[in-house]
Amino acid sequence: MELATGAMRSLLPKLVELVEGEYKLQTGVKKDVESLSRELESIEVALAKVAEVPLDKLDKQVRLWATNVKQLSYEMEDIVDSFMVRVEGSEPDADLKRSKRFRKKIANFFKKGKTRHQIADKIQDIKVRVKEVADLRDRYKVDDVHANQAATNTIDPRMINLFKDQKELVGIEEPRKDLIKRLMEGGDVVSNSKLQLKIVSIFGFGGLGKTTLAKAVYDKLQEEFICKAFISVGQKPNLKKAFMDILRQLDKNSYLNATMLDELQLIDELRELLENKRYLIVIDDIWDKSSWNIMKYALIDSNCGSRIITTTRIFEVAEEADDVYKQKPLSSATSKELFYTRLSIGKCKIISGQPIEISGKILQKCGGVPLAIITIASLLASKPWEDWSEVYDSIGFGDGANIHVDNTREILLYSYYDLPCYLRACLLHLSIYPEDHKIQKNTLIWKWVAEGFVHEKPGVGLFELGERYFNELINRSLIQPVEEPYKSIIYACCVHDLVLDMICYLSKEENFVTIHGSSNNEPQPSQSNVRRLAFQNIAMDEEPNSDNTQIHQVRSFNAIMCRVNGRSFLSSFQGLRILSMERCTFINDGCYHLENLGRLLQLRYLGLLGTPITELREEIGNLRFLQVLDLRRTRIKELPESVGQLRRLKCLRLPDDFTGALCWIGNLVLLEEIFLPYVSLEFVKELVKLTELREYGAWFGKSDDAIVDSIVFNNMMKSLEQLEMLQAIQVSCLVGWMHVGRTNCEGYVLSRHLRRLELRVAIEKLPAWLNSSSLPNLSHLTVGPNAVEAQDMEVLGRFPELIYLDLNTDPDVIIPDIMGGGAFPKLRYYFTIGSSRFLQGAMPSLECVQCYIRDERNGAKFERDIASIGNLPCLDRVQVYFFDCESGTREKGEAALRQAIEVHPNNITVKVDYW
C-alpha cells in the first residue's frame, strides 16, 4: 500500500519551499502551511507502516483512509504547483529568482486581492481536510496496523519444493551437474584433504527454482559429508532461530542443550561443533547482506573441504559468495516436458488434435520459468482443449480459485513487499509498457524523475539517484538487464511476463495506471481519479476522455505504437507532467504538430520517439518546467528559438537529420545529456557554458570539409576540457574515421569522472593525456592511433577499471605483444585491426577477442598470433572478420584458429565472417 503516499514525498519539500522561499505568503497562510507540513510529516510516518502490509491483509477502513490521503496529496500538489507556475512561470531559473525583477514580480502578483484570497481559501480548505484525515487515522488505529499484520502471516508456499520426489523434477540434471562441478572444484567429494571452505550462491528471481535446485544438489552430495543441514532464512530473518535450526540438524543433543543461549553463544556453539569437520550446509532464501555476514561467523573454515550453498534474489547478497551460479530459465524442450508432465499427459503422449500452436504461445509467455509453467498447466488441467486460447488471453492474476495461482502470486509478492518504499512506484511504473518491450534505461530514469519518484539528496544528482534505483531493481531480479553486445553497458531492461502480470495487477488494485489496449489489464470501472494513462498499440480517439475519464487530473500520458486520430487531443489536459508518444502515427492528418502543447505549463517530460512530428512551434517556450525533450527519429529539422528559454532542461535528444542552428544552447545551463547530429563552431563556443553535462555525443562529417571538421573538433575538445562533470564522450563520423592529426589531439585535460571515451578519429599516436592518472575511472575506450608502441600498451594496461578496448588502427600497424604482469586486470573485450600476441598472464579477465584481417600480411601474423589465446584463461568468444582477403589467406587463418580452439580448455564460441 506504499502507493497510498501518492505525491506526498514530492509535496512536503514544496511546502517547505513555500514557507522558506521568496513567495511573500500572508502571515496567516504561512502559519497554515507550516501546520500542514507538520501534520503531513506525521501522516507520512503512518503511511510507511501501512506500506509494509500486503493489500490482501490490509483492513478495509485503513485502505480507504490511505486512498483518501493519496487523493488529497495529489490535489495539494496540484494547488502548490499551479501557484508556483503563476508566480515564476516566465522566469524560472535560479539566477532570475534572486533578481530584483523577480521579487518585483512576486510583489505585484500578491497585490491582487483576488489572488491572495484564492490561495488562502484553498490552503484553508486543505487544512480542514487534512484534519479530517488525521482524526480518521486515530479512529481506525492506523498506527497499530503493522503489529496486527504479524499474526496473519501465511505458510511460505515454497516449502513444498523441499519435499518433492526427485522423479517429479524435470530438467534438473544439467543445472545440478553444473552446480556440483562449481561447488566441488578444487577437490572431490570423497577426499578429506585440507581444502578451503567454498561458498556458491544460486541467484535468480522468484519462481526460477533456486530452492529446488539447491535441494537436489544437497540430496546428491549429503552422504559424502560428515555434517549437513538445510535451512531457510526468509525476508525477516530470525538469526537465533536460524542458528538453532542448523544446530538441530547437525546434533540434536547439542540443540536440546542450547535452547537458552543467545545469538553470540549459539555462534560459539556452532563453531565448536563444526571445527575440524567436513560439512555441507544450505542457507536458502537470504534477503539481506548484513544477516548473511553475521551467519558466516558461525560457519568456521577448518580446511576440511566444507561447502556452503546459498540461494537469493538479491545480487549484492550473491556477490558475498566465492562463486555465483545464475539460475537460467528452462530450455524450450524442457519447458514443454514439464508442461505436459504437469498436465498428466506425459512427455511421449501427445494427443492427436491437441492445440500445438496455442501450447507454444503459452510456453513462450512462461519464459522458461518453472513456477509459471506449473501454474499455467494447473489452470489448463481441468479445461477442454478448445478453452485454452481463452486461458492464454487471460493469463495473469485473475480471480480464479487455484492454489497454484495463489502460490505464484504469493512468491512474487515477497519480492515486491521487500522493496523499500521509494522503489515500489518505480517498479509499478513499468506497467505502462506492453509485454516484451525493450525499455530504454535513460528514458525510463528521466520519466521517474519527471514523475517525482526520485527525490534529491545532497551531493547526488537526480539522474544518478534514479540510476541507483534502476540497478537496485536489477539486483533484486525484478527487471532483466539488456546489454550492448560485448561492452558490458546496460542500456535497457525487460520485464518478465510473470513479473509484468504482477505489477499490472498491483497497478490496477492501487489505481496507479489506467491501461488501454492490453487484453489482460482492462481499465478500472471508476475513472474519476485517474492520474496516469497508458495506451498500447490501439487507435486513440481524438479526445481521450470519451470514456468519462477526468482528463484534467491526469499527470502522465503514455502512448506506444498507437494510431492517433487527431492532433488536438491535448486541449483537455491541465496538469500533465509527462507526455510520451513512442512510435505513434497520425491518421488522416497531413500536418504533424501538436496543438495546445503550449498550454501544458506543468510539463516536465516531452518524448516523441519515432513519432512523425515535423514541427514544434514557438509556444514550446511556455513550458518553463520542462526537463526532458526527446525528439529522436522525428521529422523535426529545426527548433524555435524559444527552446532557449527552457532553463530547466536537463536532457536534449535531437533527430539524426536535424540541421537547425543551436546558438541558444548556452542558455540551457542545467543540461546533463545531449547528443547532436552535427557540430558547428557556433555550438562549441556555447558548449563551455554547459557545466552540468554528464553525457555528450556528436557526429562529424556533414561539412564535407576535413579542415573545417578538424578545426571544429579541436575547439570542441577545448570546450569539453571545461566540463568537469562529464562521464561519457562519444564522437563519431558519418563515414569512416575523421583524420585530425597529431596537433589536434594533444594537450587536453578531460574530466577525471570520465568513464566512457569514444573518439572515432584517426590520430598520429596515443596522446599523452590518455593515461590512468588523468582518467582513473575510464572503463570503455575507443581510439584510432596510426602507430602503437610497446609503451602505449603498457600505458593502456595500467587503467584499473578498463573493461572494453577498441584499437581501430590502420591495417599496416603492428600491435606489440601484450605482456602479463598485472596489466589490463579487468579487460573483458578487446577489438583491434590485425591481431595481437598474448603472453603468459596477459589480460587475465579477457572474455572476447575480435580482430579484422585485411590483407595477406595481417593474415600471416594472425596465423602466428592466434595460438597465444591459450594464455587467456577466461576466453569465451573469438570473432574474426576477413576483409577482401584472398582465399588462401582465409583458409590458413581459419585452420590456425580451429587448431587454437581445439587445444583451449574452454568451450569457446567462434564467429568467422568474410567481407
Task: Centre a 10 Å sphere on the Cβ of residue 144 and count the other Cβ atoms it contains.
Answer: 12
Among 535-539, 558-562, 746-750, 836-840, the minimum mean pLDDT is found in: 746-750
**Burial label, 181 (beta-carbon count in 10 A; 0-12, 13-18, 19+):** exposed
Q: What is the 3-state secondary structure (H, E, C) of 526-582?
A: CCCCCCEEEEECCEECCCHHHHCCCHHHCCEEEEECCEECCCCHHHHCCCCCEEEEE
Residue 97 pLDDT: 41
Q: Which residues of 32-60 are buried (b: 16+ CB within 10 A; e: fewer)?
A: bbeebbeebeebbebbebbbebbeeebbe
H or E segment at 673? Answer: strand 673-676
739 pLDDT band, cuts 50/70/90, is low
Of the chain, the percentage scoring pLDDT greater than 70 comes to 78
Residue 471 belongs to some domain of the structure: yes
Q: Give the distance from CA 690 to its chain's centroid.
A: 27
Of 108, 140, 172, which residue is a domain's last?
140
pLDDT higher than 50, residue 84: yes
Distance in angstroms between the alpha carbons of the first and the last residue of the chain? 58
- Return the higher-pLDDT residue of 99 and 266: 266
Residues 174 and 285 in one domain: yes
Residues 363 and 254 in one domain: no
Residue 518 belongs to some domain of the structure: no
CATH number at residue 310: 3.40.50.300
Task: Centre a 10 Å sphere on the Cβ of residue 644 and count the other Cβ atoms it contains.
Answer: 17
Residues 397 and 426 in one domain: no
Residues 298 and 390 in one domain: no
Distance CA 247, CA 274 (A): 10
Residues 340 and 317 in one domain: no
Residue 603 pLDDT: 94
**Closest to 762 in 3D by CA, of 702, 803, 713, 705:** 713
In which residue are the cell numbers 600480411 written?
Answer: 857
Using one digit for the tens of pLDDT, what is the confidence trace for 420-462?
888 999 999 999 998 889 999 999 999 999 998 998 888 899 9
Using one digit for the tens of pLDDT, what is the confidence trace for 754-781?
999 998 888 888 888 999 999 999 999 9
Number of domains in the chain: 5
311 pLDDT band, cuts 50/70/90, is very high
656 pLDDT band, cuts 50/70/90, is confident
Residues 316 and 201 in one domain: yes
Using one digit for the tens of pLDDT, what is the confidence trace for 201-239?
999 877 788 888 999 999 889 888 989 999 988 877 889
Residues 216 and 314 in one domain: yes
Residue 122 belongs to some domain of the structure: yes
Contact status, residue 190 vs residue 223, Cβ threshold 8 Å? no
CATH number at residue 432: 1.10.10
**Closest to 488 in 3D by CA, of 797, 77, 830, 187:** 830
Angle at 415 between CA 360 and CA 504, to 5 degrees: 55
193 pLDDT band, cuts 50/70/90, is very low
**Closest to 609 in 3D by CA, of 487, 444, 449, 428:** 444
What's the mean pLDDT in 598-619? 92
Q: Give the distance from CA 632 to its chain's centroid.
A: 21
- Return the higher-pLDDT residue of 693 and 174: 693
Residue 257 belongs to some domain of the structure: yes
In which residue are the cell numbers 476522455 written?
Answer: 545
pLDDT higher than 90, residue 42: no
Residue 186 pLDDT: 54
Residue 899 pLDDT: 93
382 pLDDT band, cuts 50/70/90, is low
pLDDT higher than 80, residue 869: yes
Q: What is the mean pLDDT of the chain?
A: 80
Contact status, residue 192 vs residue 306, Cβ threshold 8 Å? no
Residue 412 pLDDT: 75
Contact status, residue 629 vs residue 652, Cβ threshold 8 Å? yes
**Closest to 758 in 3D by CA, of 813, 699, 708:** 699
Q: Please state at what angle helix 497-510 crosses helix 370-380, rounded to 10 degrees.
A: 70
pLDDT higher than 80, residue 378: no
- Alpha helices (runs of H) in 653-705, residue ranges in sequence order: 681-687
Residue 567 pLDDT: 62
Sequence letter at residue 692: E
**Burial label, 117 (beta-carbon count in 10 A; 0-12, 13-18, 19+):** exposed
Task: Centre a 10 Å sphere on the Cβ of residue 498 and count the other Cβ atoms it contains.
Answer: 24
Sequence letter at residue 457: K
H or E segment at 10? Answer: helix 8-20
Residues 123 and 52 in one domain: yes
Residues 178 and 313 in one domain: yes
Using one digit for the tens of pLDDT, what is the confidence trace for 660-697?
888 899 999 999 999 988 888 889 999 999 999 999 99
Which range of residues forms the domain containing residue 307? 157-326
DSSP 48: H
Residue 903 belongs to some domain of the structure: yes
> What is the C-alpha radius of gyration for the chain, rounded to an integer number of angstroms?
31
Torsion sign across C-alpha atoms 71, 75, 80, 84: positive
Contact status, residue 473 vs residue 415, Cβ threshold 8 Å? no
Residue 92 pLDDT: 43
What's the mean pLDDT in 264-271? 90
Contact status, residue 578 vs residue 451, Cβ threshold 8 Å? yes
Task: Centre a 10 Å sphere on the Cβ of residue 840 and count the other Cβ atoms it contains.
Answer: 10
151 pLDDT band, cuts 50/70/90, is very low
Residue 594 belongs to some domain of the structure: no
The dihedrals phi and psi of 66, each to the nearest 5 degrees, come to -65, -40
- Cβ within 8 Å of residue 306, ≥6 positions away: 197, 198, 225, 274, 277, 278, 279, 280, 281, 299
Residues 131 and 163 in one domain: no
Using one digit for the tens of pLDDT, what is the confidence trace for 475-525?
888 888 999 888 889 999 998 877 888 888 888 888 889 888 754 444 444
In which residue are the cell numbers 502512448 written?
Answer: 559
What's the mean pLDDT in 400-424? 71
Distance CA 124, CA 140 (A): 25
Among 243-247, 354-358, 558-562, 795-799, the minimum mean pLDDT is found in: 354-358
Distance CA 832, CA 501 (A): 44
Strands (E), 262-397: 279-286, 307-312, 323-326
**Could you tell me the three cell numbers for 162?**
523441499
- Return the higher-pLDDT residue of 404 and 639: 639
In which residue are the cell numbers 590512468 written?
Answer: 772
pLDDT higher than 80, residue 171: no
Using one digit for the tens of pLDDT, what is the confidence trace for 693-722?
999 998 876 666 677 778 888 889 999 999
- Alpha helices (runs of H) in 140-229, residue ranges in sequence order: 145-149, 173-184, 210-221
Task: Centre a 10 Å sphere on the Cβ of residue 887 and count the other Cβ atoms it contains.
Answer: 9
Of 268, 297, 326, which residue is a domain's last?
326
Of 294, 326, 358, which residue is a domain's last?
326
Using one digit for the tens of pLDDT, what is the confidence trace for 107-149?
554 444 555 566 667 777 777 777 777 777 666 566 666 544 4
- Alpha helices (runs of H) in 814-907, residue ranges in sequence order: 856-865, 887-903
Residues 341 and 315 in one domain: no
Residue 144 pLDDT: 66
pLDDT higher than 70, residue 853: yes
Contact status, residue 441 vs residue 464, Cβ threshold 8 Å? no
69 pLDDT band, cuts 50/70/90, is confident
pLDDT higher than 80, residue 569: no
Distance CA 378, CA 66 (A): 36
Residue 395 belongs to some domain of the structure: yes
Distance CA 654, CA 629 (A): 8
Torsion sign across C-alpha atoms 767, 771, 776, 780: positive
Residues 305 and 186 in one domain: yes
Using one digit for the tens of pLDDT, what is the confidence trace for 272-293?
999 989 999 999 989 888 989 9
Distance CA 79, CA 74 (A): 9
Residue 536 belongs to some domain of the structure: no
Q: What is the 3-state secondary structure (H, E, C) of 239-283?
A: HHHHHHHHHHHHCHHHHHCCCCCCHHHHHHHHHHHHCCCCEEEEE
What's the mean pLDDT in 58-75? 74
